[in-house]
Amino acid sequence: MAFARTLTRIKPFRLSIILAFITALTVAACNPANFHTQAARVPQLITSILSDPKTFNLALSQESPNIFGLTYEGLINQNPITAKIEPALAQSWQISADKLKFVFTLRKGLKWSDGQPLTADDVVFTYNDIYFNPAIPTDVKDTFRIGTSRKLPTVKKLDERRVEFTLPEPFRPFLLNTGTAILPAHALRQYVEQKDTEGKPIFLQKWGVDTPPDQIIVNGPYKLERYDTGQRVIFRRNPYYWRKDTSGHPQPYIERIIWEIVESTDTSLLQFRSGSLDSVGVSPDYFSLLKKQEKQGNFKIYGKEPASGTTFIVFNLNKGKRDGKPLVDPVKSRWFNTLEFRQAVAYAIDRQTMINNTFRGLGEPQNSPISVQSPYYLSPKQGLKSYDYNPNKAKELLLKAGFSYNSQGQLQDAQGNRVRFTLLTNAGNKIREAMGSQIKRDLAKIGITVDFTPIAWNTYTDKLSNSLDWEAALLGLTGGLEPNDGANVWAPEGGLHMFNQKPQPGQKPIQGWEVSSWEKKIGELYVQAARELDETKVKALYAETQRLAQEYLPFIYLVNQLSMTAVRNRFANIQYSALGGAFWNIHEIKVTDI
- pLDDT tens string 288-309: 999 999 999 999 999 988 999 9
Q: What gap in Å lies between CA 103 and CA 282, rounded to an integer?
A: 42
The verdict on 380 and 508 lying in the same domain is: yes
The verdict on 362 and 329 lying in the same domain is: yes
The pLDDT of residue 593 is 84
Binned at pLDDT 50, 70 and 90, residue 506 comes out as confident
Q: Average pLDDT of 315-324?
A: 96
**Listed residue (316, 321, 346) closest to 333, CA to CA:** 316
Q: What gap in Å lies between CA 427 and CA 429, rounded to an integer?
A: 6
The pLDDT of residue 458 is 84
- pLDDT tens string 193-229: 999 999 999 999 999 999 999 999 999 999 999 999 9
The verdict on 301 and 322 lying in the same domain is: no
Beta bridge partners of 261: 49
CATH number of the domain encompassing residue 85: 3.90.76.10
The pLDDT of residue 583 is 96
- What is the distance, to the nearest Å, from the Cα of residue 168 to the centroid of all Cα atoms in its chain? 29
Give whole-number Cα distances, 361 to 23, 176, 292, 316, in Å. Answer: 29, 35, 17, 31
Task: Quickly count: other Cβ atoms within 10 Å of residue 398's Cβ.
Answer: 27
The verdict on 571 and 557 lying in the same domain is: no
The verdict on 24 and 101 lying in the same domain is: no
The pLDDT of residue 14 is 25
Q: What gap in Å lies between CA 78 and CA 92, rounded to an integer?
A: 14
Binned at pLDDT 50, 70 and 90, residue 478 comes out as confident
Asked if the bond preceding 80 is cis, omega within 30° of 0, the reply is no
- 8 A C-beta contact, residue 366 and residue 559: yes
The verdict on 491 and 358 lying in the same domain is: yes
The pLDDT of residue 63 is 80
- pLDDT tens string 55-77: 999 999 978 779 999 999 999 99
Of 170, 190, 210, the residue that ends a domain is 190
Segment among 39-43, 90-94, 253-257, 387-391 with least mean pLDDT: 39-43
Mean pLDDT of the chain: 91
Give the DSSP H or E segment for 8.
none
The verdict on 94 and 213 lying in the same domain is: no
Burial 4-16 (b: 16+ CB within 10 A, else e): bbbbbbbbbbeee
The reported pTM is 0.80
Answer whether residue 28 shows pLDDT above 80.
no
Binned at pLDDT 50, 70 and 90, residue 567 comes out as very high
CATH number of the domain encompassing residue 480: 3.10.105.10
- 8 A C-beta contact, residue 62 and residue 3: yes
Note whether residue 334 is domain-resident.
Answer: yes
Note whether residue 5 is domain-resident.
Answer: no
The verdict on 60 and 80 lying in the same domain is: no
The pLDDT of residue 40 is 54
Note whether residue 8 is domain-resident.
Answer: no
- pLDDT tens string 411-435: 999 999 999 999 999 998 889 999 9
Name the region of 280 (left: φ>0; alpha: ψ -120 to 50; beta: rest): beta
- pLDDT tens string 241-273: 999 999 999 999 999 999 999 988 899 999 999
The pLDDT of residue 364 is 93
Of 156, 190, 224, the residue that ends a domain is 190
Mention every residue, 6+ apart, whose C-beta is less than 8 A from residue 401: 338, 340, 341, 344
The pLDDT of residue 26 is 35
Note whether residue 122 is domain-resident.
Answer: yes
The verdict on 386 and 522 lying in the same domain is: yes
**Listed residue (86, 96, 99) closest to 171, CA to CA:** 99
Answer whether residue 356 shows pLDDT above 70.
yes
Q: What gap in Å lies between CA 151 and CA 144, rounded to an integer?
A: 8
Domain residue limits at 113:
76-190
Judged on CB neighbours under 10 Å (0-12, 13-18, 19+), 381 is exposed
The verdict on 360 and 481 lying in the same domain is: yes
- 8 A C-beta contact, residue 485 and residue 370: no
Number of H helices, E strands in the chain: 18, 25
CATH number of the domain encompassing residue 22: 3.40.190.10
Q: Average pLDDT of 10-36?
A: 35
Note whether residue 104 is domain-resident.
Answer: yes
Note whether residue 12 is domain-resident.
Answer: no
Q: What gap in Å lies between CA 529 and CA 541, rounded to an integer?
A: 6
Mention every residue, 6+ apart, whose C-beta is less than 8 A from residue 29: none
Answer whether residue 405 shows pLDDT above 50.
yes
Note whether residue 470 is domain-resident.
Answer: yes
Structural domain count of the chain: 3
Note whether residue 6 is domain-resident.
Answer: no
Binned at pLDDT 50, 70 and 90, residue 8 comes out as very low
- pLDDT tens string 131-190: 999 999 898 888 899 988 889 999 999 999 999 999 999 999 999 999 999 999 999 999
The pLDDT of residue 147 is 86
Q: Which letter does DSSP use for residue 372 in this model? A: T
The verdict on 432 and 537 lying in the same domain is: yes
- pLDDT tens string 329-354: 999 999 999 999 999 999 999 999 99
Sign of CA dihedral 87, 88, 90, 96: negative
The verdict on 317 and 404 lying in the same domain is: yes
The pLDDT of residue 11 is 38
